[in-house]
């Protein structure tokens, strides 16, 4: 019996090789002194952060901000996208403005975020909201506009109207695209939270990076970057689970 | 009489789609509407279903009908059974609903496929689910818009037999829009040939032969010939 398929190990080969080469180069002192930490220093730095309890606090702080900013963006963005997608007048009135803000890098809001909200959770949540709200609106509107007309005809034929039309036709019809949009924007939010915390944070993984820089601790820089990358991948893995809901599978089987 | 059109005209802006169409459909009758593509067949069907209203002329409709589409009229987020239940939503009794659902799944030969989603079914199976959805719940008129045209030829022949069998069990008035003249001749009691746009009734061909009919039955072949001649495709 082959209990464990070797194929499962494939994703880990490249990182393992990278770490190995990195360790080798450090050992042979090929890097200029003080610019690249050795793997041992990084592991030590990581253990240090965990033991101080800072790692946990920073992680929770970042996750909290992303979750809240992202949820507010979803709760407000999906309904607005529905209205824009369903109503021609709303589309004409709102779409250019939404596109304007969509094209504006959320990082451009950093100065205002600092001026309006100071330091801490609020500016980061604001920036995450600004980063994810507009893409969610646009993705929802586009998904609604692309619902095949035949579904609405069938719905009418079977007497589905108003509330039922929304919950039994419009929403399920756009759900696969919404989930894809959530994955993309959640990834963007995770990128933005780091930037926000680097400038407006007193804690969080972005602040960890900034703090490591100020203390000239390249080992902690690598610790921060590694954790940010891993959490980003895990967040996406989490959202991928949504695509396994039976009633949305059709959207991914084309 | 189930449906009656009198001098129905329909224009979209400058474009005239239908010109003065009069038609009477009796209960239990199977009517096929054939004509060149883009001639306004679907518009006519939309008017009969009440989805669009005529620009002028009158439409009398005594019974509600269900439309059956070419393909992908099923909701992909609902299982086959849930799609069929759409047709049963006005049947108040739950037990009766479940029984009817099981009956129709048996009837279309999809027993055991109720919890499959449309994308897990073949084109022919999906079309049978469409038929089932329209046949449950007691509506008496089926309006079909080229229902089998997305299927391959062999599957289409199977579906014609299958549909004939279903109609024997559950008689309905059928109005079938098609560009498949064989299909019209094999299934319909009356084939109505429409002209180019703006569509007018060019001729009517009655076929008095009980169903199921063989495609190669002389009467069917003769009807195909007559319709083709009417459309200027054979001498």
Is A4 within the bounds of a domain?
no
- Please indicate, yes or no, if residue A5 is contained in any of the structural domains: no
- Chain B nearest C-alpha distance from A254 (Å): 9
The domain of A206 spans 40-252
From chain A, the residues in CB contact with B51 under 8 A are 153, 156
A contacts of B117 (beta carbons < 8 Å) = 246-247, 249-250
Asked if the C-beta of A101 comes within 8 angstroms of chain B's C-beta atoms, the answer is: no
Q: Does residue A33 lie within any of the structural domains? A: no
Backbone angles phi and psi of B53, in degrees to 5:
-110, 150
Could you tell me if residue A11 is inside a domain? Answer: no
Look at residues B121, B127, B120 and name the one whose alpha carbon lies nearest to residue B145.
B127
Interface subset of A 120-159, CB within 8 angstroms of B: 148, 150-151, 153-154, 156-159
A133 within a domain of the structure (yes/no) = yes
Mean pLDDT of chain A: 92
Residue of A nearest to B74 (CA): A151
A160 and A168 Cβ atoms separated by less than 8 Å:
yes
* Residue A122: CATH number of its domain: 1.10.3720.10
Measured between CB atoms, which of B67, B69, B77 is closest to A248? Answer: B77
Q: Print burial letters for A141-170: b (CB count within 10 Å at least 16), e (below 16).
A: bebbeebeebbebbbbbbebeeeebeebbb
Tokens, residue A15: 């990182």
First to last CA, chain B: 35
Residues B22/B27/B28/B33 CA torsion (nearest 10 deg): 10
- So what's the pLDDT on residue A215? 92
Widest distance between CA atoms in chain A: 75
**Which tens digits make up the pLDDT trace of A79-110?**
999 999 999 999 999 999 999 999 999 999 99
Q: Is residue A91 part of a domain?
A: yes
- Inter-chain contact A158–B119, Cβ cutoff 8 Å? no
Paired strand residues for B5:
B23, B59
pLDDT category at A157 given cuts 50, 70, 90 is: confident
Buried b (16+ CB within 10 A) or exposed e, B4-37: bbeebebeeeeeebbbebebebeeebbbbbbbbe
For residue B76, the chain A residue with the least C-alpha distance is: A250
**Mutate which of B50, B68, B77, B126 to test chain A, going by most A C-beta atoms within 10 A?**
B77
pLDDT over 60 (residue A254): no
pLDDT digits over B4-16, tens only? Answer: 999 999 998 888 8
Buried b / exposed e across A60-76, counting CB within 10 Å, b at 16+? Answer: ebbbebbbebbebbbee
- List all residues 6 or more positions away from A50 whose beta carbon is below 8 Å from its beta carbon: A56
Is the pLDDT assigned to residue A1 strictly greater than 70? no
Supply the ipTM of this predicted assembly. Answer: 0.84
Tell me the mean pLDDT in the region A124-143: 96
Record: contact A247-B69, CB cut-off 8 A: no
Question: Quick check: pTM over 0.95?
Answer: no
Name the domain count of chain A.
1
- Assess if residue A62 is contained within a domain: yes
Q: Could you tell me if B140 lies within 8 Å of chain A, comparing CB atoms?
A: no
Q: Is residue B90 less than 8 Å (CB to CB) from chain A?
A: yes
B72 touches chain A (CB under 8 A): yes
User: Residue B82 and residue B67: Cα distance in Å, rounded?
Assistant: 18
* Residues of chain B falling short of pLDDT 70: 71
Query: Which helix (H) or strand (E) covers residue B23, if one does?
Result: strand B15-25
Q: Which domains does chain B have, with CATH numbers?
A: 1-64+140-235 (3.40.50.300), 71-139 (no CATH)
Chain B: nearest CA to A202, how far in angstroms? Answer: 46
Residue A1: inside a domain: no
Please give the pLDDT value at position A100.
Answer: 96
Phi, psi (deg, nearest 5) at residue A17: -65, -40
């Amino acid at each position: 019996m082959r209990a464990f398929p070797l194929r499962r190990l494939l994703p880990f080969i490249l990182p393992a090789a990278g770490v190995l080469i990195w360790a080798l180069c450090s050992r042979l002192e090929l890097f200029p002194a003080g610019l690249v930490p050795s793997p041992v220093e990084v592991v030590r730095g990581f253990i240090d952060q965990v033991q101080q309890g800072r790692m946990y606090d920073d992680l929770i702080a970042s996750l909290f901000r992303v979750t809240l900013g992202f949820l507010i963006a979803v709760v407000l963005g999906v309904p607005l996208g529905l209205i824009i997608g369903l109503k021609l007048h709303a589309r004409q009135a709102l779409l250019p403005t939404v596109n304007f803000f969509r094209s504006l890098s959320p990082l451009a809001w950093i100065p205002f975020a600092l001026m309006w909200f100071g330091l801490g959770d609020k500016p980061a949540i604001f920036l995450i909201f600004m980063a994810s709200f507009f893409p969610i609106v646009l993705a929802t509107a586009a998904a609604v506009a692309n619902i095949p007309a035949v579904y609405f005809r069938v719905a009418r034929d079977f007497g589905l109207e108003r509330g039922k039309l929304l919950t039994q036709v419009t929403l399920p019809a756009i759900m696969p695209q919404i989930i894809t949009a959530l994955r993309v924007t959640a990834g963007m939010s995770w990128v933005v939270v780091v930037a926000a915390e680097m400038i407006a944070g007193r804690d969080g993984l972005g602040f960890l990076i900034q703090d490591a820089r100020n203390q000239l601790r390249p080992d902690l820089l690598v610790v921060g970057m590694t954790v940010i990358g891993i959490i980003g991948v895990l967040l996406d893995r989490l959202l991928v689970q949504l695509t396994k809901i039976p009633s949305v599978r059709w959207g991914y089987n084309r | 009489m189930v449906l009656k059109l009198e001098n129905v005209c329909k224009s979209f802006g400058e474009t005239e789609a239908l010109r003065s169409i009069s038609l009477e459909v009796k209960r239990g009758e199977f009517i096929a509407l054939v004509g060149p593509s883009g001639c306004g067949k679907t518009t006519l069907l939309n008017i009969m279903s009440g989805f669009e209203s005529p620009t002028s002329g009158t439409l009398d409709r005594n019974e509600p009908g269900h439309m059956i589409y070419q393909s992908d009229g099923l909701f992909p987020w609902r299982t086959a059974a849930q799609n069929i239940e759409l047709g049963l939503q006005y049947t108040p009794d739950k037990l009766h609903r479940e029984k009817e659902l099981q009956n129709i799944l048996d009837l279309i030969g999809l027993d055991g496929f109720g919890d499959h989603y449309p994308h897990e079914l073949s084109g022919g199976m999906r079309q049978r689910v469409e038929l089932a959805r329209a046949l449950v719940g007691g509506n008496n008129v089926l309006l079909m818009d080229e229902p089998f045209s997305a299927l391959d030829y062999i599957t289409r022949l199977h579906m014609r037999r299958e549909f004939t069998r279903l109609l024997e069990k559950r008689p309905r008035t059928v109005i079938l829009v098609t560009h498949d003249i064989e299909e019209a001749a094999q299934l319909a009691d009356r084939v109505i040939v429409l002209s180019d746009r703006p569509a007018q009734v060019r001729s009517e061909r009655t076929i008095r032969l009980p169903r199921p009919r063989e495609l190669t039955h002389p009467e069917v072949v003769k009807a195909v010939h007559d319709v083709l001649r009417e459309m200027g495709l054979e001498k």
